Structure 1
Amino acid sequence: MTTWQPLTLWDDDAWDDGPAGRGAAATSPDATGPREVPSSAPAAAAVNEVVASVALVAASAAAAAAEQPAVALVAASSAMQQPAEQPAVTLVVPAPGPCSGPIGVFDLETTGIDVREDRIVTAHVGVLAPDGSVVAARSWFADPGIDIPAGATAVHGITTERARSEGRPAPEVVAEVTAAVRELLDAGIPVVAYNAPFDFSMLRYEGLRHGVAPIDDPSPVIDPLVVDKTYDRYRRGKRTLEAASAHYGVLLEGAHDAAADAVAAGRVAQAIAARFELSLSVVELHTQQIGWARAQAESLTEYFVKVGRLDPEDALDGSWPIR
């Protein structure tokens, strides 16, 4: 009888995703040492302002859709602030489609790749307009309560010492991030996460650890990794966020920073929707990705068995968007 093995979850390309090298930090050009990460201001009431910002985005998008379906721009609230300067992004997004309205973006940087045991260090939740511009954003910096391994520091640049001195208590951060993501989903705004099972599973287990009601069945979710593998199945090369960003012409500055990765993932999702003229609703796309992710895990299992990286009786878990 076939036994299902948990497919090790990795934070995009920060870690070796192969069974033979799981848990080892991968080398990357930008993994050169600590990098400045803005610490989040402690403000419990700010979550309520995030909720208000989400409602404003949704209402403005609905109003804009009546006159110009492909464009909806909203001013950011004080809780989720708009950057002063952003790189120019030109996207032609079809309407209707999964990215024809505002999309949420979500990313975590962590102490490692074990979603059940490792912890959140930084997080970002934001909203992009259909043209890719940032209309709302908030970042968090947590003290994970455990040491940050050197391999993780080499990826995102945050040391144990800095997290302890500048990070906020993990239970507060987990509660606020969960609330921000939940409000987007409850408003019907799709949340984009690159390799979604990693981020959503990590957030879920952190919630269980700290007594925060978890998001057990996040929906609607858009995972550019799954969608890209489906619509451009035979493209050779890596499928990391950096590789996908380069392929789809999306600028990614400061890879492995939660905010930079979240925004880039959202723009990659928009670029995929535009290039392949996706007309699925966000609900339809979410449902399709469940099957696509399962099929991709089965295909990867076959390949790993063929090259000797898995035993024939083993199988990778393709559950999505939480494993």
Structure 2
Amino acid sequence: MSWISDALVAFDLETTGTDVETDHIVTAAVVRLEADGAVSHERTWLLDPGVAIPEQASAIHGISTAHARAHGAPAGTAVGEIAHAVAEVLRSGTPLVVMNARYDLSLLDRECRRHGVASVGERLGGVPAPVIDPLVIDKHVDKYRKGRRALQALCAHYGVELEGAHDARADAVAAARVVRRMGERHEPVGLMALADLHALQVRAAAEQSASLQAYLRRTADPAAVVEQAWPVIPRPR
């Protein structure tokens, strides 16, 4: 049976910014979609990140510092629950869909370190897998397509409705539906065994980063460095 005709679990974060080393989780969602696309189980979190949420981030996901402080769970407790939920999905063998996994999974890893709880990798005894990343796959199967590849753009391209962009639950659901549509449209990917698909993305993500790095060094910054590791950026020493 192909992974596109089985259940998928999607994971998404909304955060205080875009730096995996310094930013914090504000909301999170883990959502299970059955083969027919229906949501059968979901869990969401609102955190008090313990720091002020920049106005630019609040404008994107709609969560203010005051709201997070008044209604959010303590960050350390919630981060542990999120890591546990993600690890349980992967331990079961169900693929975890994460749009731009390199960011979300790396930020979760850093939050685990910050709060002294076991990371997903530590709970599993290795790199989180199998992960399915719509961003990496789309760049692999449709390398030369012009235009943006953010989740909203992918939803438009693959004909998937996105209700409430930048809401963690809505983005998680949309990512799972988009990647299933990708697998249906690009059959070689849709028919791959999960271990092979994960390995393909490791290679593809590295190649995509190397290509972007070369472009930036030619056109903008001779010293530009683009991270190649996927799905989790190694912790700095």
* Alignment-derived partner of residue 88 in structure 1: none
- Counterpart residue type for residue 219 of structure 2: V
Structure 1 residue ranges (4+ consecutive) displaced by more than 6 angstroms after TM superposition: none
- Bigger radius of gyration among the two: 1
Are 2:187 and 1:282 equivalent residues in the alignment?
no
Deviations 1:28-54 (A, max 9, x none): xxxxxxxxxxxxxxxxxxxxxxxxxxx
Q: 1:196 aligns with which of 77, 98, 101?
A: 101
TM-score where L is the length of structure 1: 0.69
Equivalent residue number for residue 300 of structure 1: 212
CA distance in 2, matches of 1:139, 1:241: 19
Indicate the percent of aligned positions where both proteins have the same amino acid.
47
- 1:126-275 equivalent positions in 2, closer than 5 A: 126-216=31-121, 217-275=127-185
Give the structure 1 partner of residue 227 of structure 2.
Answer: 317
Q: Measure the CA separation in 1 of the matches of 2:117 and 2:218.
A: 42
Q: Is there any run of 5+ residues in structure 1 with no aligned partner, and where?
A: 1-95
Q: Following the alignment from structure 2 to structure 1, what is the Cα–Cα distance between the partners of residues 36 and 214?
A: 39
Counterpart code for 1:299? S
Report the alpha carbon displacement of residue 126 of structure 1 after superposing the two structures with TM.
1.1
Distance in 1, Cα, partners of 2:224 & 2:68 = 38
Is the CA contact 1:130–1:270 (under 8 Å) kept in the aligned structure 2? no
| SS in structure 2 of the partner of residue 141 of structure 1 | strand
Q: Kindly indicate whether the alpha-carbon contact (under 8 Å) linking 1:97 and 1:273 is maintained by their aligned counterparts in 2.
A: no
One-letter code of the match for 1:127?
A: R
Give the secondary structure class of the aligned counterpart of 1:198. Answer: helix
The 3-state SS of whatever aligns with 1:316 is: coil
CA distance in 1, matches of 2:174, 2:47: 22
Higher normalized helix content (fraction of residues): 2
* Cα separation, 1, equivalents of 2:131 and 2:168: 18
Report deviation, 1:187: 0.1
Moved more, 210-219 or 242-251: 210-219
Deviations 1:216-258 (A, max 9, x none): 3110000010001000111110000000000000000111000
Q: CA RMSD in A?
A: 1.0
Please report the TM-score for the alignment, with normalisation by the length of structure 2.
0.93
> Could you list the per-position Cα deviations for residues 166-194 of structure 1 after superposition, in whole angstroms to 9, with x for gaps in the alignment?
10111111011111111000000000000
